[in-house]
């Protein structure tokens, strides 16, 4: 299509595209508009889709007909404008027709939110400092003892009452709280819990699990810290559109969690004594933080050319689809590709940041 445009940057990562579609390209929409509009307009004596243009225009009016032509032309023009000008638009565009007439160019204005420009700080010294910091991971005996105590409690049995007790004693025991008998902690007991040789082996494996959990938490803490520090030193603005989108994701996550608990969303809101709108407002700050994280990870991936291979992406998609299937849910592969791509990309960015601390 022959399109002339001017692009103006507005506050809040919004751009305004003002332009014209040539008269010939606008008029090229006439036949398809007659066909599509004729399918929905009922006129006595004509079958749907076979209404002559003149009769159709008399029925709906010239203005409505031209507006339908404009919609068809703009639906083709907008993707072309986005592609040719490498515009990273997010959300739905706001389109206004500024000039419309038969055999004339079609004038329009389009406002759309775009991905913000990020002035990224030199992240390497930040990552090196954060990631190279040493943290002593210790496992205390009490932590192991607490795990063992919880396991014994989970295997506890109710105390057995003596059969030859008097009726009065039986009634008293029925009213008294039930006593729980913990299993004796022996080599034989730990063998019933899994592939353990004895108590010593069991305690060692518990210690390993506790250590691994602490190491993972420490790793996650560093990852969050380094991105937060990069955010502090970088310059960018978070579009409101991204914040609202993030809040939508957070709401979907909460609804899924509530559903898994076997609760109805309306009942859950009643328990909280809040409306859905009140919950969303309360998430403004967290949603903005999550959006900032996403923007910085994305920018790091772009600047450092961090990508996942096709094989890695297919493997991740397989894993996600299998997870849903294991829970009795079917999901289309194409629906999870973008999500899987984001997971892999972010993980590779974090690995890149962590390597800076190994120097």
Q: How do residues 225-235 score in pLDDT, each as one tens digit? A: 999 999 999 99
Region 167-174: what's the mean pLDDT? Answer: 52
Q: What is the pTM of this model?
A: 0.78
Q: Residue 162's pLDDT is what?
A: 43
Alpha-helical runs (H) found in the chain = 23-27, 30-40, 53-60, 62-84, 123-132, 141-154, 167-175, 187-191, 199-233, 240-260, 265-272, 276-282, 284-303, 310-326, 333-356
Angle, vertex CA 111, rays to CA 87 and CA 117, nearest 5: 45
- The 8-class DSSP code of residue 235 comes to B
pLDDT at residue 99, rounded to an integer: 95
pLDDT at 6 over 90: yes
Q: What percent of the chain has pLDDT over 70?
A: 93
pLDDT at 170: 52
C-alpha–C-alpha distance, residues 90 and 114, integer Å: 5
Q: How many CB atoms lie within 10 A of CB 140?
A: 10
Distance in angstroms (rounded) separating the CA atoms of residues 254 and 252: 5
334-353 residue pLDDT tens: 888 888 999 999 999 999 99
Q: How many CB atoms lie within 10 A of CB 230?
A: 23
Report the pLDDT value the prediction gives residue 12, as an integer from 0 to 100: 86
Conformation bin of residue 146: beta by default, left when phi > 0, alpha when psi is -120 to 50:
alpha
User: Average pLDDT of 32-44?
Assistant: 81
**What is the distance between the alpha carbons of residues 213 and 108, in angstroms, rounded to a whole number?**
57
- pLDDT tens digit string along 59-108? 889 999 999 999 999 999 999 999 999 999 998 999 999 999 999 999 99
Cβ atoms of 266 and 275 within 8 Å: the answer is: no
Give which of 357, 356, 349, 350 is closest to 302, Cα–Cα.
Answer: 349
pLDDT digits (tens, 9 = 90+) for 300-342: 999 999 988 999 999 999 888 888 888 777 788 888 888 899 9
Could you tell me which residues come within 8 angstroms of residue 239 by beta carbon, excluding any fewer than 6 positions away? 12, 13, 14, 90, 113, 114, 115, 116
Crossing angle of helices 310-326 and 333-356, rounded to 10°: 120
The pair phi, psi for residue 114, each rounded to 5°, is -125, 160
> What residue ranges define each of the domains in the chain, with the CATH number in brackets?
3-114 (3.30.70.1050), 141-185 (no CATH)
pLDDT tens-digit map of 139-160: 999 999 999 999 999 998 765 4
Give residue 178's pLDDT: 61
What does the pLDDT read at residue 164? Answer: 46
Indicate whether 44 pLDDT > 80. no
The label of the residue with tokens 């790091």 reads: 300
Report CA 239 to chain centroid distance, whole Å: 16
């Amino acid at each position: 299509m022959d399109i002339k445009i001017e692009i103006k940057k507005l506050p809040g990562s919004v751009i305004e595209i003002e332009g014209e579609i040539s008269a010939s390209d606008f008029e090229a929409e006439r036949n398809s508009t007659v066909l599509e509009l004729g399918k929905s307009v009922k006129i006595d004596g004509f079958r749907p889709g076979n209404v002559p243009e003149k009769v159709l225009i008399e029925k709906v009016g010239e203005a409505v007909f031209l507006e339908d032509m404009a919609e068809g032309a703009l639906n083709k023009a907008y993707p072309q404008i986005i592609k040719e000008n490498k515009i990273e638009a997010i959300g739905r565009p706001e389109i206004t027709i500024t000039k419309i007439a038969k055999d004339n160019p079609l004038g329009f204005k389009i406002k759309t939110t775009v991905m913000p420009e990020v002035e990224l700080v030199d992240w390497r010294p930040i990552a090196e400092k954060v990631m190279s910091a040493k943290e002593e991971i210790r496992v205390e005996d009490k932590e192991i003892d607490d795990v063992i105590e919880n396991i014994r409690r989970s295997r506890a049995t109710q105390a057995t009452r003596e059969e030859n007790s008097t009726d009065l004693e039986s009634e008293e025991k029925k009213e008294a709280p039930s006593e729980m008998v913990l299993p004796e902690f022996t080599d034989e007991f730990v063998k019933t819990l899994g592939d353990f040789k004895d108590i010593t082996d069991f305690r060692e494996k518990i210690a390993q699990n506790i250590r691994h959990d602490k190491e993972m938490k420490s790793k996650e803490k560093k990852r969050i810290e380094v991105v937060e520090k990069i955010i502090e030193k970088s310059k960018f603005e978070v579009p409101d559109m991204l914040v609202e989108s993030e809040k939508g994701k957070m709401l979907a996550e909460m609804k899924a969690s509530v559903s898994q608990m076997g609760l109805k969303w309306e009942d859950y809101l009643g328990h909280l004594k809040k409306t859905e709108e009140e919950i969303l407002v309360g998430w403004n700050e967290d949603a903005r933080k999550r959006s900032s994280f996403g923007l910085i990870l994305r920018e790091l991936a772009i600047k450092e050319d961090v990508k996942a291979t096709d094989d890695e992406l297919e493997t991740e998609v397989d894993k996600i689809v299998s997870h849903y299937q294991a829970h009795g849910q079917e999901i289309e592969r194409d629906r999870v590709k973008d999500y899987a791509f984001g997971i892999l990309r972010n993980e590779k960015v974090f690995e890149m940041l962590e390597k800076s601390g190994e120097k």
